[in-house]
């Protein structure tokens, strides 16, 4: 929710200082992801995330959290939207008696285009160069 609300100062708070994230073409430090998200927040691409409750399994000072997510996005310049279904996996670790993410991965299951007002022309080859599961998001981010 911090990302959708533009709360960039809070977006990195669930991560350990050396935490990493891997999703939609970004793989790197969580802090770099926060910076990139702030830039995206100023772009033509808008998103809302519908996030389900997480299923968390603990083992000692580590845990894994599985969370289903629906990403609703729109490129306002293109007047074209997307809805994507994905699963997020968070690898969590307890350090100094505090639980935080040290890795987050997103696996996309499917994504489709939405047409908020009219049906614009879509460049098929530009969509097809990305994996089908998140091609619509990648297209709208370009």
For residues 47 and 49, give the distance between their C-alpha atoms in angstroms, rounded to a whole number: 7
- pLDDT for 73 equals 94
Strand 55-59 versus strand 62-75 pairing type: antiparallel
For the chain, 142 residues long, the average pLDDT of each consecutive 10-residue run is: 84 93 89 87 89 98 98 94 97 97 96 92 91 93 87
pTM of the model as a whole: 0.85
- pLDDT for 23 equals 87
**Alpha-carbon radius of gyration of the chain:** 16
For residues 40 and 46, give the distance between their C-alpha atoms in angstroms, rounded to a whole number: 8
- pLDDT for 36 equals 86
- pLDDT for 135 equals 95
Q: Which residue segments constitute the domains of the chain, with CATH numbers given?
A: 8-141 (3.10.450.50)
For residues 39 and 102, give the distance between their C-alpha atoms in angstroms, rounded to a whole number: 23
């Amino acid at each position: 929710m911090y990302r959708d609300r533009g709360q960039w100062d809070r977006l990195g708070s669930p991560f350990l200082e050396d935490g990493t994230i891997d999703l939609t073409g970004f793989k790197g430090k969580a802090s770099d992801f926060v910076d990139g998200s702030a830039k995206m927040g100023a772009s033509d691409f808008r998103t809302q995330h519908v996030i389900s409750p997480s299923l968390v399994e603990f083992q000692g000072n580590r845990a894994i959290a599985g969370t289903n997510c629906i990403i609703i996005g729109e490129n306002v310049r293109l007047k074209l939207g997307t809805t994507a279904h994905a699963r997020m996996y968070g690898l969590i670790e307890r350090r100094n008696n505090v639980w935080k993410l040290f890795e987050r991965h997103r696996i996309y299951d499917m994504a489709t285009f939405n047409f908020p007002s009219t049906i614009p022309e879509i460049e098929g080859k530009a969509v097809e160069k990305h994996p089908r599961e998140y091609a619509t998001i990648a297209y709208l981010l370009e």
